[in-house]
Amino acid sequence: MKKRARRPLISVITVCYNEEKNIEKTCRSVAAQTFKDFEWIVIDGKSTDNTLQIIKKYKSNTDILMSEKDSGIYNAMNKAIKKSKGKYLLFLNGGDSLTGKGILKKVSDLIKKDKEKSQIYYGDLQYDNGDIVSHKNSRLDKKFFIKSTLSHQATFIRRELFSKYGFYDESYRIVADYDFWIKAIIKKKVKTKYIPITVSIFDLAGISTSYKHAKTHVRERTRALLRHNLIGPAGANLIKLKWSLLTLMKRLGLYNIIRKTKNKLKR
């Protein structure tokens, strides 16, 4: 194992479970980094396929590798946070990958040059279908989080924020990171900064984008918004109505038609 700084600038955290089809691209992207002032923590949920065997091929690149049962994705993330030593944490889940071998170097340079010493840095995310999600011109206020969220796989979070404001709420299955953004950015007013880098490629097969989990996603987002008083009961009912209409449009095959037309008009 290569020697790393005792207190690295970045901790890359990968949590996974039965990801044998996609975990190799995650491992390759981390192992290829030219920047060395980072640690890589991998928490496997006791996979029953070949996920762990694939990860072990990259054992020399991992600083911590654990395989044990957990109670969910955020339980695994919280385990990793408690073991991490980096100043900033990046959550790169199984199936996701960094966009290039120089990404962590570019991010580290921007962090070191930032005189304001922001606590959360957020970049752009690329979906594995080629689409880019960017919040370059977004203001991270109440309206933003009602409509959208930050990309977890493209955001570097100061580790001490979890000690100050609490770890991920494990009662959420899908949106504990969303709940954390609201708490830290809206409630606690932590300093944030956009970085003009496409950090990672997001695996669209993940739980947060799975259609069968979409209802849970909407329900949990609504719960987080209500919890932090960003919306009231009327707002929650409006979200439910929008979700019902969206579901109906998808069943009728109208959603993709409207989406494609909208994208053509943007060009």
Which tens digits make up the pLDDT trace of 171-224? 999 999 999 999 999 999 999 999 999 999 998 765 444 456 778 888 899 999
For the whole model, what pTM was predicted?
0.89
How far is residue 212's CA from residue 173's CA, in Å, rounded to a whole number?
13
- CA–CA distances in Å: residue 81 to residues 10, 12, 56, 60: 12, 10, 21, 21
How far is residue 235's CA from residue 240's CA, in Å, rounded to a whole number?
9
Model pLDDT for residues 31-79, shown as the tens digit of each residue: 999 999 999 999 999 999 999 999 999 999 999 999 999 999 999 999 9
184 burial type by CB count under 10 A (0-12 exposed, 13-18 middle, 19+ buried): buried
- Does any domain span residue 173? yes
Amino acid of residue 99: T
- CA–CA distances in Å: residue 17 to residues 39, 53, 175: 20, 12, 18
- Does any domain span residue 99? yes
* CATH number, domain containing residue 117: 3.90.550.10
The pair of structure tokens assigned to 166 is 């609490």
Per-residue confidence (pLDDT) for residue 248, from 0 to 100 = 60
* Averaged pLDDT score across all residues of the chain: 89
Helices (H), 21-133: 23-31, 51-56, 73-83, 103-113
Sign of CA dihedral 254, 260, 198, 38: positive
- Number of independent structural domains in the chain: 1
Q: Is 263 helix (H, G, I), strand (E, B) or coil?
A: helix
- Does any domain span residue 227? no
For the chain, what is the largest distance between any 2 Cα atoms, rounded to a whole number of angstroms? Answer: 57
The closest alpha carbon to 165, from 236, 249, 228, 258, belongs to 228
The pair of structure tokens assigned to 40 is 């890589």
- Does any domain span residue 42? yes
Q: Structural domain of residue 178, as residue ranges?
A: 10-209
- Does any domain span residue 150? yes
How far is residue 9's CA from residue 260's CA, in Å, rounded to a whole number?
41
- Does any domain span residue 259? no
